Amino acid sequence: MEIIEKAAAKINLGLNVIGKRPDGFHDLEMIMTSIDLTDTLTFSSTNDNKITITSNVPYLPTDRKNLIYQAAHLMKKKFALNQGVRIYLDKIIPVAAGLAGGSSDCAATLRGLNKLWQLNLSLEELAEIGESLGSDVPYCIYSQTAFVTGRGENVELLPKFQGFWVILVKPQISVSTPSIFKQVNLAAINHPDVQGLRQVIIEQKLSEIPVLLGNSLEAITARQYPIVDKIKTKLINYGADGVLMSGSGPSVFAICRKESRAKRVFNSIKGFCNEVYLVRTL
């Protein structure tokens, strides 16, 4: 038996850091949505009781350091399964880019193994299992527009954020999410109106979204990596409706309502960075 599962990249339309938790993490308010930039995972049953991971990207770890492995190990242990699995990852989403690629692969593993091993778990149950694997994993289980709070464990699904084109730009640097969060000064950072963003999505006043985009972490990352602001400025000058850094960065995205404008922005920015994608919201 073979199961194929897609893992979609996410972008943050809004990210507000609202406090520090006793466990060392931060309390967040976020609006997340997924885009059609996806990894593909293929799951096959084996009789050797082992977890075997292969990929088209040779430098990715395939052992316990990999969230895919951790997800499979957790499922085997939790449900006392003696079955093995072979997992092939076709990796497209950039690594360490603020797009939750690893978390999305992890969530896709939970969904895929749920089908392969016929566990009949709901998405809610899978999201609860995913909490221990990573802050973005519960959202990635659903992989649709959502209002996310806590450290990422509370997911409120919202109406679809559709009809937008997304130009995604990944500069040739990688950003450590923990290092960015260590620099958070709650009194000094920007606190975007994530609740207002949530409301306009609920009311489907999508034309108001570009002016409400905001990310508390953007200024921190941009101070360390000025390329972030340079990309933002170029995207705005090229005519994007709205521009923001996703997550802790360094990826920057622009949104456009019109396909013609999106293609113009995409073609203009391509000469500035090697990794540029023109995609849609899911």
Find out whether 168 and 36 touch, Cβ atoms under 8 Å: no
Find out whether 103 and 144 touch, Cβ atoms under 8 Å: no
Task: Name the nearest CA neighbour of 94 among 158, 151, 170, 42.
Answer: 170
| C-alpha–C-alpha distance, residues 48 and 46, integer Å | 6
Active-site entry in 10, 170, 232, 234: 10
- Active site includes 27? no
142 φ, ψ to 5°? -85, -40
- Active site includes 10? yes
| C-alpha–C-alpha distance, residues 76 and 51, integer Å | 10
Active-site entry in 39, 105, 136, 241: 136
CA angle in degrees (0–180, nearest 5) for 139-170-197 = 45
CA angle in degrees (0–180, nearest 5) for 142-143-144 = 95
Catalytic residues: 10, 136
